[in-house]
A and B are shown apart, each in its own frame.
Chain A
């Protein structure tokens, strides 16, 4: 077991699984957020469910937090190890001749997304915890849409969200398809899957950008 934990293959396998889990969560998060554009009532209803359902709160939320923390801690651990593997850098290194910018800079796009998560938690998760557990307000199923719209009235925050989602797109453009390679799925069928991963990596962040801009412009 000790050998497995130290193994480079197992670490990448775990990194890929946590990434796939987060990609799945992202899709679910996007679906709920996008409902705010179509129907405020639906958004309130779904958010109320997510905020009060015992399974979501007691099981899925801790799993999600573990997944996020594991993914970025493991990402940093792997990056440190990788840098040590080449003690002396090349004078001339043309990475752009053989690989994409996204694939070579996952640590930077990942760190931007991590910084964004800090802002996102400060904006939504921390106030939610304060509202429910510290101030102890009774549950109001109709408050979620108003809270969402209020956050997107600040143009600086909207810009920060848009920039972050662009980096999320860059991260997903390599990370999503790469995770299938890490778990050992690279065959003739995986090539079709790659098209789906690219589409997902572009559409979901663009969708989040659309939601932020929609609420900002809609309330000018």
Chain B
């Protein structure tokens, strides 16, 4: 497969950056998208040029490290997959593929296609935890009955890998889907009730401080999320937030 790649190149956070075109040949349909970039980078290194920097880690869709806006969509054209799970058979011979970093004021570009998603870590640190008794009398979590529906909903919310596709897809660069998933996974469980009031307030406050946009309920985040995190989480977060605020 012969392709034309248009890739965002940016030396560092202060560089203006620009799109650079790279022709590439010999790409197989069974290659993953990241393997295709590996091939490109080998060619660049052999020519003495700087390889294209991009985030990746597990390469099996569970770590949330890979990102990339591919032809105008986070993680590319396929649904419910991360960039590392995207295969080149999703493209055709002769295609031009535009590859950009996730764009958001809260996700500054570090280099080329790598962005700093530390804002997500800080939102998580603001309330994405539960306090447990570590004195030696810790109660086994399995001894606390949890409604099956709530357990399932909580688990679904917890499958968010924090990749940032929701922010990248949203026309407002909003992080509501991520934040709401992290709020929901605790809000639905008895262990999460104790800090529920502070949690949602602190996480929303941190989300706003990071400079993310507001949710317009376009639903783009849900469609592009590689884990299918539901918009119902945002509605739940809104309820939790207004309820917590009314309590003071």
Q: Does B104 contact A (CB under 8 A)?
A: yes
A103 near B214 with CB under 8 A, answer no
Closest to B224 in A: A98
A133 at the interface (CB under 8 A from B): no
Instruction: Check A178–B71 contact: CB distance below 8 A.
Output: no
Q: Kindly report which residue of chain A lies nearest to residue B98, judged by CB atoms.
A: A92
Given the contacts A181-B234, A181-B235, A186-B232, A91 and B245 also touching, CB distance less than 8 Å: no
Q: In the complex, identify which listed stretch (A42-50, A59-67, A80-88, A150-158) lies at the interface while the others stay far away.
A: A80-88
Say yes or no for B216: interface residue by CB 8 A criterion: yes
Name the residue on B nearest A105 (C-beta). Answer: B171
Measured CB to CB, the nearest residue on chain A to B74 is: A98
- A89–B231 alpha-carbon span in the complex (Å): 24
Complex alpha-carbon distance, A54 and B77, angstroms:
59
Given A98-B224, A185-B235, A90 and B219 contact (CB-CB distance below 8 Å): no
Q: Does A166 contact B (CB under 8 A)?
A: no
User: Given known contacts A7-B208, A82-B172, A99-B223, is B215 in contact with A92 (CB within 8 Å)?
Assistant: no
**Per-position 1/0 for B207-241, Cβ under 8 A of A:** 11001111111111001100000011011111101
Residues of B near A81 (CB, < 8 A) are: 213-214
Judging by beta carbons under 8 Å apart, are B242 and A78 in contact?
A: no
Decide: A103 and B219 in contact? CB cutoff 8 A.
yes
The number of chain B residues touching the other chain, given as a range, is 35 or more
For B234, what are the chain A residues with a Cβ–Cβ distance below 8 Å? 181, 186
If the complex has contacts A8-B207, A98-B220, are A82 and B72 also in contact, measured as CB distance less than 8 A?
A: no
Does B196 reach chain A (CB closer than 8 Å)?
no
A10 to B237, CA, bound (A): 11
A8 touches B204 (CB 8 A): yes
We find that the number of chain A residues with CB closer than 8 angstroms to chain B is: 41
A residues less than 8 Å from B87 (CB atoms): none
Inter-chain contacts of A104 with B (CB < 8 A): 171, 216, 218
Tell me the nearest residue of chain A to B246, going by C-beta: A4
Q: Which residues on A sit within 8 Å (CB–CB) of B204? A: 7-9
Whether A78 contacts B214 by the Cβ 8 Å rule is yes
Contact check, A3 vs B205: say whether CB atoms are below 8 A apart: yes
C-beta contact mask, B161-194 vs A, less than 8 Å → 1, else 0? 0000000010111101000000000000000000
Please indicate which of the listed interface residues B73, B106, B171, B220 has the most CB atoms of chain A within 10 Å of its own CB: B171
Taking a contact as CB atoms under 8 Å apart, the answer to whether B245 and A184 are in contact is: no
Does residue B100 face the partner (Cβ distance < 8 Å to A)? yes
CB distance from B78 to the nearest CB of A (A): 11
Taken together as a complex, chains A and B put the C-alpha atoms of A167 and B1 apart, in Å, by: 45
Q: How far is the CB of A91 from chain B (nearest CB, A)?
A: 6
Given known A-B contacts A9-B204, A85-B104, A90-B69, A98 and B242 have beta carbons under 8 A apart: no
**Closest residue to A9 on the B side, CB-wise?**
B241
Interface residues of B (CB under 8 A from A): 6, 8, 19, 69, 71-73, 77, 98, 100, 103-106, 169, 171-174, 176, 201, 204-205, 207-208, 211-220, 223-224, 231-232, 234-239, 241-242, 245
Some 5 contacts from A to B, beta carbons below 8 A apart, are: A9-B237, A86-B173, A88-B103, A93-B72, A182-B238
Which 5 pairs of residues, A with B, have the shortest CB-CB distance?
A: A85-B213, A184-B239, A94-B72, A186-B235, A82-B172
Measuring CB to CB, which residues of chain A are less than 8 angstroms from any residue of chain B? 3-4, 6-13, 78, 81-82, 84-95, 97-100, 103-104, 106, 174, 178, 181-187
